[in-house]
Amino acid sequence: MKLNMRRVVLAACVVALICCMGFFTETYHAPYTLLRAEANEDATALDLTTKGDFANMPATAVRLGSNAGANNAVGALQLIFCGGAAADKTFTYTIYAWRTGNGPAEFVATGTGTLGTQAVVAYPHNRATATAKFWADTLTVTGRWNKTVTSTDTSGNNQVAKLLFDFCGYEYIYVEISSADGSTGTEAGNVSVYYSYFG
DSSP 67: G
Q: Pairing between strand 150-151 and 133-139? A: unpaired
Q: Using an 8 Å Cβ cutoff, are 167 and 153 in contact?
A: no
Question: Cα torsion at 150, 154, 158, 159 (round to 10°)?
Answer: -10
114-123 exposure pattern, b = at least 16 Cβ within 10 A, e = fewer: bbbebebeeb
Give the pLDDT confidence of 46-60 residue by residue, as tens digits.
Answer: 999 999 999 999 999
| Single-letter residue type at 33 | T
Provide the pLDDT for residue 25: 38
Q: Using an 8 Å Cβ cutoff, are 112 and 92 in contact?
A: yes
What are the backbone dihedrals phi and psi of residue 2, each rounded to the nearest 5 degrees, phi first? -65, -40
Q: Using an 8 Å Cβ cutoff, are 135 and 80 in contact?
A: yes
Cα 26–chain centre separation = 17
Of 11-15, 123-127, 136-140, 190-194, the least confident: 11-15
What are the backbone dihedrals phi and psi of residue 70, each rounded to the nearest 5 degrees, phi first? -65, -35
Give the pLDDT confidence of 80-96 residue by residue, as tens digits.
Answer: 999 998 999 999 999 99
| CA dist., res. 27 & res. 131, Å (int) | 30
**pTM higher than 0.85, yes or no?**
no
